[in-house]
Amino acid sequence: MLYYIFRWLDQFGISGSHLWGYISFRAILAMILALVVSAWFGERFIKYLKSKQITETQRDAAIDPFGVKKIGVPSMGGIIIIVALLIPVLLLGRLRNTYLLLMVGTTLWLGFLGGMDDFIKIFRHDKEGLKGKYKIVGQVTIGLIVGLVLWASPDVKANLNLEVANQNGQEVVVKHETKAEKTLKTTIPFVKSHNLDYSEIVGFLGKYKTAGGWILFVIMTIFVVTAVSNGANLNDGMDGMCAGNSAVIGVVLGILAYVSSHIQFAAYLNIMYIPGSEELVVFFMAFIGALIGFLWYNAYPAQVFMGDTGSLTIGGIIAVGAIIIHKELLLPILCGIFFVESLSVIVQVWYYKLGKRKGVKQRIFKRTPIHDNFRTQDSQLDPECKYLVKVPHGAVHESKITLRFIIVTILLAALTIITLKIR
């Protein structure tokens, strides 16, 4: 909104209005505004949640061995993140941008889905919340919508990166195709000069391989959105953990969106140039600011929990942002913590069921998701159950676990960026 006003004023030579044409100016302003809104609105919203008793009502005290009382802490704090994110985006972003509209739509959709889950938990006192099948349907639906829009929209194009040898053949120069076009290619980490082409995977379809490639792309979009949003949801189990990890991930996605929208930087990193993706920089800077402001209240000991309203939204934002800039194959590295959290639950359930069929009570970890394994004391374990992994033997304080997980995410974030140059 403000972008269009100041760009119009720039035509009349109004001092300072030209700054709104710079993506760096709008992005930094978006982060500052999101942080301020998150901090200011957060304090008032927390008081409102307490007054209406919209608080945590059920909590397994066994997983909190250090005696911090979680019951009674306001939940649904994800609304703080969503409000603080959308206000600067709507004020400072170019709202006619397809990519930005997809990000806003994803935020609202998954925010509503997570809000329904929190509503059922809090107001209906149902610990399970929204049934899993309905969550999956909601996640699959937004993934389908995003995939189909990226397939059908004429505005979604990219200039493919090409390696061209100079005249003496001794040096390779990366250039981009002069014309932007729709593409099914995506960046592969660690592999030099290669993009994965979804249509080549289904090359056996012959003349129908392009259509088959887009179908595969839509399926991949659904899978990525569902997997990352669930991973973020599982990671939201300790004060400040999901918000802290996601802020680091948001920094990397903001950087990748910026270099993808800058043809010289895209050539330097040998990645495709994506016109229009600069608006994602504004979005992710606002995302970072909103999360940092939320951490002011969510850091240990938390004054508010984000709930599924926040965690499902955060995961969806990360997934859709990566898909738009053709970097979804970097997510297993960048979101390594989310991946390990999900994997720990999957293998734990599989191993337990395997033992059950044999009449043996067994588990791999003391508890899952994996962060709970580190704060579980040996005295809390089932003496009739066999555990493959019993370390650490004592419980680690959750603030230390959170900080260590964030440090790991910082390392993975650095590795994600490095992969683009060590190819």
Output the known binding site for Mg(2+): 233, 308
Whole-angstrom Cα distance, residue 186 to residue 150?
Answer: 13
Let me know: does 362 contact 386? Beta carbons within 8 Å: yes
Q: Select from 365, 372, 368 the least CA-distant residue to 401.
A: 372
- Read off the tokens for 11: 């035509």
Whole-angstrom Cα distance, residue 423 to residue 302?
Answer: 42
Question: Which residue numbers belong to the known binding site?
Answer: 233, 308
Whole-angstrom Cα distance, residue 94 to residue 410?
Answer: 30
Q: Sort residue 240 into left (φ over 0), alpha (ψ -120 to 50) or beta.
A: left
What is the phi/psi pair of residue 239, to 5°?
-60, 120
